[in-house]
Structure 1
Amino acid sequence: MSDTRVEAAYAGALAAFKNPMLDLLHGRFAPFVVAVLSVTFTSERASVPVVDAHAEIGDMLDRLRATGHAEGEGGEVMLPVGTARELCRQWVRAGWLLRQIEGEDEVYRLSAHAVGALEIAGRASGSRARVSESRVRTLLEAVERLAQDADPDVLTRVARLTEEIAERRAEIARLDRTGVVDTVEDDTLLEQAENILHLTRELPADFARVVESIRAMQRDVVTDLRQDVRPAGEVLREYLQRGKDVMASTPEGKAFAGALRMIGDPRRLDDLAANLRTVLRHRFTTAMGPAERAELAAVGRRIETGVAEVLAAQQTASHVITTQVRTHDPARDRQVDDLLRDVMVGFQAWMPTSRPAEAVEPLRRLPLADLGHLRQSVSELRPPEPPAPLADWGDVESAVEDTKAWGGPGYRAIEAHLDAYLAAHAGEGPVDVAEVFAAAPEEIRRPVDLLGLLEIAHRRGMAETGEISTIEAVRADGVRRRFAFGGVRMTDGDATGEGTGEGADVD
């Protein structure tokens, strides 16, 4: 039994040390790799252009060699041999760096394995994690929350809430009675801040794992689609759905989606920023180093940056999968594969016989395409016979009048009627617009004419009465409709067009 357990543990250890993260930490030049990657990539600089990375890493390598760090105390070689470009290529093959295209630039990014390795190295070189009140409280609160979420018993949940309410009320009563808030010692606050930093240092690796899982799913989907081993309809249905629900296709994506529901609320992020400002104003933060204070202030920004990277990876994966499904052409893909295979075969045949810096004859022009037989004549653009004459509309004037009857307000006729009505009732005080409309002939008593009358009254000047006026309008087909609107009146002086020009709005 013991031998079996040892063999299983050894097999698990062998598999673990094949992980790129442990390979980085266990490598011969691990201190150099950790130092260079930690300086080149920071929380504010997640991606670095390839050209800039080669130049910066080359400068670091030259500086370390010039200052005598190339050899250890026992004559051991401490720095790798080669240029910065060669080292970056090795790190890409080892799985520590990712080479990607962002916009028009080619950039390097840390892989999730490299982020985890840098986190482990940073914790080992910094202060050790201590068993403290804050750490134990975090564990107990997590277990309590897990028990509450897992327990479906209503009475138990009510009892817990009642107990919590009683504790809160007792604390409020004590504060009202004494007016004194219990202070916490600076050492305890400092320990809690260190626990927060310990938790937040694990976030970049978690976000990077989510991004890489999404990209791995994207590559698998595109590869399976290009193989074309299933019916096209089945491929379309499955991969369009996976492209739509890319966050639900991986375990890391599902976990991130659950976390996003909590940290995606802008109010939570605003509260987090306000709480961090409050903490940084406290005197206990003076005992922290500048790097720790800067790291504590950047907690919110680190979360926002990680969320943005995951969402960008999700959007890119959805776009790539959807584009591949829409433009999938098995015949063309096979031609491209054959072309690339021919290129690789040519390189394999040419490389053994070539010499360094050997000139290569360039391709002067592209081969001509075989177009086959082209058409030598075009169709006659002119029609074989003239178009048919236009249909006779008959009585055009009646058609125009009928169209006008269903058109907009007749402003000229309405304004003439209004002027005549105001002149006939001059000296009788304010004139009700509803009465003016009721006295108009049926030709200008349509629903749209009511709007035209109100528009003219508003332009000349009117005042609201606070009452509801009711009128009867006649449509062009003779159907009568009743309308109600806020009552308005016009004064005698408006008959001459001397209104104020400022009327009250009509509802």
Structure 2
Amino acid sequence: MDHLIAHLERTRSAFDQPTLALLNRHYAPTVLTILAQVFPPHRASVDAEQVALEVEQHRLALAHHNCDDLDGHSVRQLLSRWVREKWLIRHLADDGTELFTLTSHTKDALDFVHRASGAHPLVSSTRMRTLIDTLDRFAHEAQPDRDQRIARIDHDIAQLSRERDELAAGAPMPTMSVQRMVENLDNVRHLVRELPADFARVAESMKDLQRHILTQLRAGDRRAGDVLDDYLDQAQHLLTATPEGRAFTGALDILRDDATVAALNHAIHTIVSSPAGQSLPFAEKEALRSIVSSIVDSVDVVLSEQQRASRSLTTHLRHYNPAHDREIDDALEHALSALTRWFPSTSRGERVPALPRFRRAHIGKLRTTVPDIRPAQGPPALVDDGEVAAELDRGYARAMGGPHHKDIRQVLEAAPRHGYTTLAEVFQHAPTELQRPVDVLGFQEIMMNDAAPDLDEDHLATTQRQSSKDTAPPADHGKTVREEHLPWDTVTAVRPDGTTRTFLVPRMALPTASQPTEGGTQ
């Protein structure tokens, strides 16, 4: 009787699984047909926009044959309902793209429909051979007797050696019939069919574990460190203590071994390129070629979900604020309570006045600093002592100013008539008010502007040859090569206060009387 009750409990728990709940819906055949077309074995995740487009196309095709029983909902409404009913999983990729993936319950439902429709594998010699080989390998690994295991290995070596010798002696190559190829292919499909659903269950378990941990963290009843320890222990238990977790771990170990993956790809290529494999339909060949990619995609789904859960927990802990979370929960509870009281007293379509903005608190302005409580006063008034400023000496102010360009230009224009040939001679015979230090620069500036041709390389060379009898002052290391080779003159400037200052100026020749300066024409 205890055995019967236990069997009944297992049966009831099986009927409580979401897979049977999905199959029990009246529109389940239509939904499974559409999802089987949108999510073939080689497409684990599909972009949300692409899913909506393909679902709409399949609905139109079904409606053309009067087979659409989805109650006329829009595609967006259907996808949202399928997510709530656990047909699909909606998640975000790393780049923010919205993706849809089949749940493990949907994959189990598709597998059940596939088997129930007559496509389940039949008992054949291939399946029996697979069963015998599996049991034989199982017995060999479980054999505790050393001599028995050695004898088994010797038997296998002798059998393989005999087969090799026969082939080397020219024995005919064994061929595989098309029927045998179909049976083997059906057996491979049966072995691979459960893997995506198993991996999807691991990913869903990761998501459920993440929700459970976040719920415990938000509750604030336990320390964050204790909750994270439970998360790590449960995650490790999920990958080692459940059948689907062990399948995922085994697949991950295989995919990490490059030699095993290369051998698997080589075996698939050999099957497809064999004479019997050439007779297979194109869809069957693609199914064989996609075995490795489907396993990789299924593993990537689990790894992505694991990384997403870790990022979510890390982000939550970084911004974890129990007091703030409780305030938000209290505000949401108050809002739900207000809506619950408001609904019975309203009618359908009644509008709720939206709150345009939060009310501003009317708080008087307070003083932020109190250095002096007395009001600020202006500066004291200016005192008029009645004194009159002395008259400004404009001549002195002009003497302290810049060069007198107009007077300097007149002196330069008259210099050839007096026989002056260089800048130094003109400066020394100029009026006293034009012999200031600043006027030295004024004479040079006007000569460079009004008599620019006299300063080119040819003129400087000519001037240097004409003045070769003159000696230059000792060369200064701070001067350029050109300055070291220029002839120099000495001039004495008179400051407005009567003091003198001696300067060295480059020898600059004046234009002759037949070549008036440009200043005379300006």
Calculate the TM-score normalised by the size of structure 1.
Answer: 0.64
SS of equivalent to 1:129: coil
User: For the structure 1 residues 33 and 193, does the alpha-carbon distance in structure 2 shift closer, same or farther, using more than 3 Å as the test?
Assistant: same
Partner of 1:199: 191
Structure 2 CA distance, aligned partners of 1:55 and 1:207? 27
Deviation at 1:130, TM superposition (A): 1.3
1:71-470 map, 5 Å: 78-102=69-93, 103-125=95-117, 127-178=119-170, 180-239=172-231, 247-248=239-240, 252-352=244-344, 360-366=352-358, 376=368
CA deviation vs aligned residue, 1:275-297 (integer Å, no higher than 9, x gap):
22221122323443332222122
> What's the % identity of the aligned pairs?
35
Could you tell which deviates more after superposition, 328-337 or 346-355?
A: 346-355
Deviation at 1:64, TM superposition (A): 2.0
Deviation at 1:49, TM superposition (A): 4.0
SS of equivalent to 2:12: helix
Larger radius of gyration: 2
2:92 aligned partner, one-letter code = I
Deviation at 1:69, TM superposition (A): 2.4
Partner of 1:492: none
SS of equivalent to 1:202: helix
8 Å CA contact 1:36, 1:60 repeated in 2: yes
Structure 1 gaps of 5+ residues are 71-77, 378-507
Could you tell which deviates more after superposition, 349-358 or 260-269?
A: 349-358
Structure 2 CA distance, aligned partners of 1:233 and 1:138? 49
CA deviation vs aligned residue, 1:395-426 (integer Å, no higher than 9, x gap):
xxxxxxxxxxxxxxxxxxxxxxxxxxxxxxxx
8 Å CA contact 1:214, 1:247 repeated in 2: no
8 Å CA contact 1:21, 1:117 repeated in 2: yes
Residue-pair matches, total: 369
Partner of 2:40: 42
2:62 aligned partner, one-letter code = L
Could you tell which deviates more after superposition, 273-282 or 229-238?
A: 229-238
CA deviation vs aligned residue, 1:226-279 (integer Å, no higher than 9, x gap):
222234553354446667887458653344213321233122222222222221
Partner of 1:63: 61
Deviation at 1:146, TM superposition (A): 2.5
CA RMSD of aligned residues (A): 3.4
CA deviation vs aligned residue, 1:38-80 (integer Å, no higher than 9, x gap):
122223433334454344434433432332225xxxxxxx554
Deviation at 1:16, TM superposition (A): 1.9
Structure 2 CA distance, aligned partners of 1:277 and 1:39? 26
SS of equivalent to 1:178: coil
User: For the structure 1 residues 147 and 229, does the alpha-carbon distance in structure 2 shift closer, same or farther, using more than 3 Å as the test?
Assistant: farther
Structure 2 CA distance, aligned partners of 1:112 and 1:370? 57
Structure 2 CA distance, aligned partners of 1:371 and 1:221? 43
Calculate the TM-score normalised by the size of structure 2.
Answer: 0.62
8 Å CA contact 2:44, 2:298 repeated in 1: no
1:299 aligned partner, one-letter code = I
Deviation at 1:211, TM superposition (A): 1.1
Deviation at 1:219, TM superposition (A): 1.7
Deviation at 1:113, TM superposition (A): 0.3
8 Å CA contact 2:217, 2:227 repeated in 1: yes
User: For the structure 1 residues 13 and 181, does the alpha-carbon distance in structure 2 shift closer, same or farther, using more than 3 Å as the test?
Assistant: same
Partner of 2:27: 29
Structure 2 CA distance, aligned partners of 1:230 and 1:332? 17
CA deviation vs aligned residue, 1:283-317 (integer Å, no higher than 9, x gap):
32344333222212211111111111111112222
Deviation at 1:123, TM superposition (A): 3.4
1:225 aligned partner, one-letter code = L
Structure 2 CA distance, aligned partners of 1:308 and 1:86? 29
CA deviation vs aligned residue, 1:91-140 (integer Å, no higher than 9, x gap):
22322222222342333321100011112223333534111122112222
Structure 2 gaps of 5+ residues are 370-522
